[in-house]
Structure 1
Amino acid sequence: MPKEYKIAVYILFIGLIYYVFFSYAMFLRMRTTGSPMTPYTLIFSLPIFLVYFIPSVLFLLKKEISLKILTTVISLNIFVNMLLSLGMVYFKEFTTIISNLGIKENDLLLLMGIARMFPQKVLLVLSLETPWLIYLLYLLNHKETKEFVRTKTYQLVNTQQFTLGIIIILFITLTIISMLFGL
């Protein structure tokens, strides 16, 4: 199988596993602090998990529709990250817009406080996450990945060192993000 496909599968499933642990850690942190937003952590986390999990499993099973779904979902995620980044750069205006949507400004500040985040940290986390999403988008749209998913055949190639290097860099990035969140 092509290294692009293999690396995309690793990134997707390592990201999903990390997301489960991250969501659970945030749930425990909110429950410990007695936050009124504790139940919403799971309510918001589950759909996000499923939106990535279902197409990832289809991608693992080499279904062509998974490429289109994942490309759409990841593109949307990149767009949301860019909006959140702008929101963190212009934080006062962002909280005003959020409060105009009916969400209390204090809820946003409480959520960020529980997460032990401030706008600069959120911006740093988004700047670490977004390049991985762009790289994943590149891998999914790579010619060899599309051909492999369509034909389900590929000549044997030894790309283990490159794949291992990418996975190590991914784990380093996830470790940095975990440290920023204080997990």
Structure 2
Amino acid sequence: MAELATIARPYAEALFKATGVAGAEQVQQWLDAFAEVAASEDVQRVAQSPKVSREQLLSLFESVVQGDLPQLAKNFLATVIDNDRLPALPMIAAQYRGLVNAQQGAADAVVYSAFPLSDAELDGLRPVLEKRFGRKLNLTVQPDASLIGGIRVVVGDEEFDTSIKARLEQMKAALTA
């Protein structure tokens, strides 16, 4: 894993320098789409085949992204393919997101919830979480029925757990101590 991170860093940094923060959202969208395709074992196997041309690989990746790709995206993808770095694409996407977040003073946060959260509920939760973690957060929600109720928020290596499951574990520890 460390090797992929080392390989991915120069690509992510070069892409970040070429795009800056202004176009970061669009770049992150197509980069995430590329990363998802590249993570597939079938795509990796096809990419290693000598019968598959560079243009066929480019066409495969371009077909996944909705809409027209900017020339920067096509050039970036061609460079990654030419240098046999497709396995590093997921790490490139993650490192690019990290560079954008660092520039904006933000962080990615995963909100685990026992029940689906509406956009209004998430918008109400955002200021509380941003105050709690001390920075702007890019929230994504993932269901986790094991929580029973409440939420668990993970930002990097920090965690904020207000779930019923966590409270029951605390009560269990207190009663057995």
Q: Same fold (TM over 0.5)?
A: no
More strand by share: 2
TM-score, length of structure 1 as denominator length: 0.28
Larger radius of gyration: 2
